[in-house]
């Protein structure tokens, strides 16, 4: 099901719980569905899928709901690294990891590249790219 050179797609998301008052570690998240920058009660999500050989849909590899208010929370980057590690454990070979502009971070670039994988990131408008 997984191709010889897997393509993994990584994405952060959110789940809003606008009527929730007593959920454990309820956080404030930027509502990705809203037209304006609005923060609502909810949880962050970190997701990864792999494109498959013959299926028209990607296969889910990793999905985790987390809160920055949890006592075990370290950072959003730590959650992203856990997602990358779970993806690597699943595919067990060099892959192309695809990220949106929210992942435009040199620490992430180094983590992926130093782990032996290739990287494709949509850069932010203010990123200066040097051709060496």
The reply to whether the predicted model has a pTM over 0.85 is: yes
* pLDDT band, residue 11 (cuts 50/70/90): very high
Backbone φ and ψ of 16, nearest 5°: -95, 145
- pLDDT of 111 reads 96
pLDDT at 31 over 80: no
Q: Which of 83, 74, 70 is nearest to 43 (CA)?
A: 70
**Per-residue pLDDT reduced to its tens digit, 60-105:** 999 999 999 999 999 999 999 999 999 999 999 999 999 988 888 8
Q: Tell me if 38 sits within 8 A of 31, measured CB to CB.
A: yes
**Domain segments of the chain as ranges:** 7-13+44-121
Sign of CA dihedral 70, 72, 75, 78: negative
Q: Give the residue from 123, 122, 119, 105 showing the smallest Cα distance to 7.
A: 119
């Amino acid at each position: 099901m997984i191709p010889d050179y897997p393509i993994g797609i990584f994405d952060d998301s959110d789940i809003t719980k606008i009527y929730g008052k007593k959920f454990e570690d309820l956080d404030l998240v930027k509502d990705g569905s809203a037209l304006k920058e609005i923060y609502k009660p909810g949880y962050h999500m970190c997701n990864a899928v792999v494109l498959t050989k013959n299926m028209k849909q990607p296969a889910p590899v990793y999905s985790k709901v987390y809160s920055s208010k949890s006592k075990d929370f370290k950072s959003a980057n730590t959650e992203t690294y856990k997602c990358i590690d779970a993806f690597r454990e699943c595919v067990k070979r060099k892959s192309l990891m695809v990220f949106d502009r929210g992942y435009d971070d040199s620490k992430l670039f180094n983590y992926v590249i130093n782990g032996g994988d290739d990287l494709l990131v949509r850069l932010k408008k203010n990123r200066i790219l040097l051709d060496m």
